């Protein structure tokens, strides 16, 4: 069995997979972990064929939360394994791997130190990831642990794509550059799209794919010959597309303007750009695209504007990335919005026939696409349009099982 762990600052998401088949056996989420004020945390645990199992308890840190997770996994009524000895490896989602990690790695002291070092450039994510790693080391001693980085897939970006137009010393001395995120999701759907294109006779070196991860966070990636060559998120996940609550691209001169003319502090600006902007900020309604649709249909013009900007930005980047790659074989939509929202797909691809993109409106609007891989382009469209459900946890489980299987026996 492989346990996949994804720690946020106040949450612990997990999924247990059968190592050989990749079959998911159980999953769950502990929320309100490590929150101040003595509030109880809640663990919601699901396992195949069982009712949801909920545990309310104090979970002052991730290690205590993990204890409850392991308890649920081995619980006589709700568990799926007889003992913790069945967990052969643990895979962690780690947001930032800096420039050091181009692929998933077994965690040793040096890797752990690197994850800690990157807390400086990913203060919202890496500290929690690190806590998860340490909690697993203590609760599951001797079990190999693997780090799967959100940044790793974008390691193949060329310097023209990742160097900002800033003094070069900032890159050399402080690592300030584009890193890109959502890499595990982009890699997962790009691999599937590559296979589908191969079946149509487009060999890997000729493939030019744009993967659109549109969820709460949104990013586009240009994947040429199986490699990420450009991506819309940057030094942090704030850059690029309009997102649920993040602004995406803005003029950086706005920041000193807001300080000097509105008297805002850096903390206030950071909070505004990350949490009060995007669909929420423009519409004033919600960060959830379903609420935006409902409000727009009811005549709310700002909600309509938010939706229009959202799709306009996707189109903007699609055009840019097709140009960067010198052509286009397929566009892939994934994540909450990408997989479920035919209006966003249609509006983002509108008038892209000049690039060879012909969407089939009926296939695109098919209500029961959910959870399935679908090709929603017309039969003779030169560019394919795929809807592919992402599965970052499965990708992490596969990498983890592969690396653990390659370990010399004495390390296990
Ligand atoms: P994710 O970050 O991938 O979980 O995506 C979350 C976002 O996907 C939500 O904020 C919604 O805007 C969107 N979403 C989820 N389910 C649907 C749905 N059935 N139809 C349209 N949008 C959806």
d(CA 172, CA 154): 18
Q: How would residue 412 be classed by pLDDT, with cut points 50, 70 and 90? A: very low
Question: Any residues with CB less than 8 A from the CB of 89 and at least 6 apart, and which?
Answer: 2, 3, 19, 143, 144, 145, 146, 400, 401, 403, 404
> By alpha-carbon position, which residue is closest to atom 4 of ligand 1?
336
Q: To test ligand 1's pocket by mutation, which of 181, 336, 348, 391 has the most ligand atoms within 8 angstroms of CB?
A: 336
What DSSP element (H or E) covers 256?
A: helix 254-262
Q: How would residue 409 be classed by pLDDT, with cut points 50, 70 and 90? A: low
Which residue, 399, 229, 239, 394, is CA-closest to 321?
A: 229
Q: How would residue 35 be classed by pLDDT, with cut points 50, 70 and 90? A: confident
User: How high is the pLDDT of residue 344?
Assistant: 98
Q: What percent of the chain has pLDDT over 70?
A: 99
d(CA 224, CA 236): 23
Ligand 1 centroid distance, CA of 3 (Å): 25
292-312 pLDDT tens trace = 999 999 999 999 999 999 999
In this structure, what token pair is assigned to residue 406? Answer: 């390659």
Q: How big, in percent rounded to 5, are the helix, strand and coil portions of the chain?
A: 40, 20, 40
Task: Please state the rounded mean pLDDT for residues 282-286.
Answer: 97
- Any atom of ligand 1 within 6 Å of the Cβ of 290: yes
Mean per-residue pLDDT of the chain: 95
326-338 pLDDT tens trace = 999 999 999 999 9
Q: How would residue 124 be classed by pLDDT, with cut points 50, 70 and 90? A: confident
In this structure, what token pair is assigned to residue 349? Answer: 């691809």
Q: What percent of the chain has pLDDT over 90?
A: 90
288 included as an active-site residue: no
What DSSP element (H or E) covers 205?
A: none
Residue with tokens 């203590």: 138
Closest ligand 1 atom to Cα of 335? 3
- Any atom of ligand 1 within 6 Å of the Cβ of 214: no
Residue with tokens 């929690």: 128
User: How high is the pLDDT of residue 369?
Assistant: 74
Q: How far, CA to CA in Å, does 302 sit from each of 48, 206, 245?
A: 43, 42, 15
d(CA 101, CA 134): 19
160-170 pLDDT tens trace = 999 999 999 99
User: How high is the pLDDT of residue 296?
Assistant: 98
Tell me the Cα Rg of the chain.
22
d(CA 187, CA 184): 5
250-281 pLDDT tens trace = 999 999 999 999 999 999 999 999 999 999 99
Other Cβ atoms less than 10 A from the Cβ of 206: the count is 12
Partners of 351 in the β-ladder: none
Ligand 1 centroid distance, CA of 176 (Å): 31
In degrees rounded to 5, what are phi and psi of residue 44?
-110, 120
- Any atom of ligand 1 within 6 Å of the Cβ of 218: no
Residue with tokens 């959910």: 370
367-380 pLDDT tens trace = 777 789 999 999 99
Which residue, 1, 59, 2, 52, is CA-closest to 30?
A: 59
d(CA 126, CA 325): 32
> By alpha-carbon position, which residue is closest to atom 16 of ligand 1?
336
Ligand 1 centroid distance, CA of 287 (Å): 10
């Amino acid at each position: 069995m492989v346990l996949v762990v994804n720690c946020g600052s106040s949450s612990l998401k997990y999924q247990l997979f059968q190592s050989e088949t990749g079959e998911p056996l159980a999953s769950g989420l502990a929320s309100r972990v490590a929150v101040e004020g003595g509030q109880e945390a809640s663990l919601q645990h699901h396992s195949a064929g069982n009712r949801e199992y909920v545990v309310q308890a104090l979970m002052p840190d991730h290690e205590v939360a993990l204890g409850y997770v392991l308890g649920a996994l081995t619980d006589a009524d709700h568990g799926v394994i007889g003992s913790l000895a069945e967990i052969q490896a643990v895979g962690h989602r780690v947001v930032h791997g800096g420039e050091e990690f181009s692929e998933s790695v077994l965690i040793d002291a040096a890797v752990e130190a690197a994850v800690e070092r990157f807390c400086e450039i990913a203060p919202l994510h890496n500290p929690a990831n690190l806590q998860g790693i340490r909690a697993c080391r203590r609760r599951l001693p001797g079990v190999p642990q693997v780090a799967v980085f959100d940044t790793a897939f974008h390691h193949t970006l060329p310097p023209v794509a990742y160097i900002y137009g800033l003094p070069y010393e900032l890159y050399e001395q402080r690592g300030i550059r584009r890193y890109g995120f959502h890499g595990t999701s982009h890699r997962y759907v790009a691999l599937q799209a590559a296979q589908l294109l191969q079946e149509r006779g487009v060999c890997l070196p000729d493939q030019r794919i744009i993967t659109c991860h549109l969820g709460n966070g949104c990013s586009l990636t240009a994947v040429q010959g199986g490699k990420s060559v450009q991506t819309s998120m940057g030094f942090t996940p704030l850059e690029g597309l309009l997102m649920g609550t993040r602004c995406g691209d803005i003029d950086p001169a706005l920041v000193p303007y807001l300080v000097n003319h509105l008297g805002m502090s850096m903390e206030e600006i950071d909070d505004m750009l990350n949490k009060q902007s995007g669909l929420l900020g423009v519409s004033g309604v919600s960060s959830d695209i379903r609420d935006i649709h409902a409000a727009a249909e009811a005549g709310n013009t700002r909600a309509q504007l938010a939706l229009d900007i959202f799709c306009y930005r996707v189109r903007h980047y699609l055009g840019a990335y097709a140009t960067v790659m010198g052509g286009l074989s397929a566009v892939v939509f994934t994540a909450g919005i990408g997989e479920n929202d035919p209006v966003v797909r249609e509006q983002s691809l509108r008038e892209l026939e000049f690039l060879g993109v012909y969407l089939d409106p009926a296939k695109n609007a098919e209500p029961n696409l959910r959870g399935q891989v679908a090709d929603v382009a017309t039969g003779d469209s030169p560019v394919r349009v795929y809807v592919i459900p992402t599965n970052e946890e499965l990708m992490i489980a596969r990498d983890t099982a592969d690396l653990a299987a390659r370990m010399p026996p004495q390390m296990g």
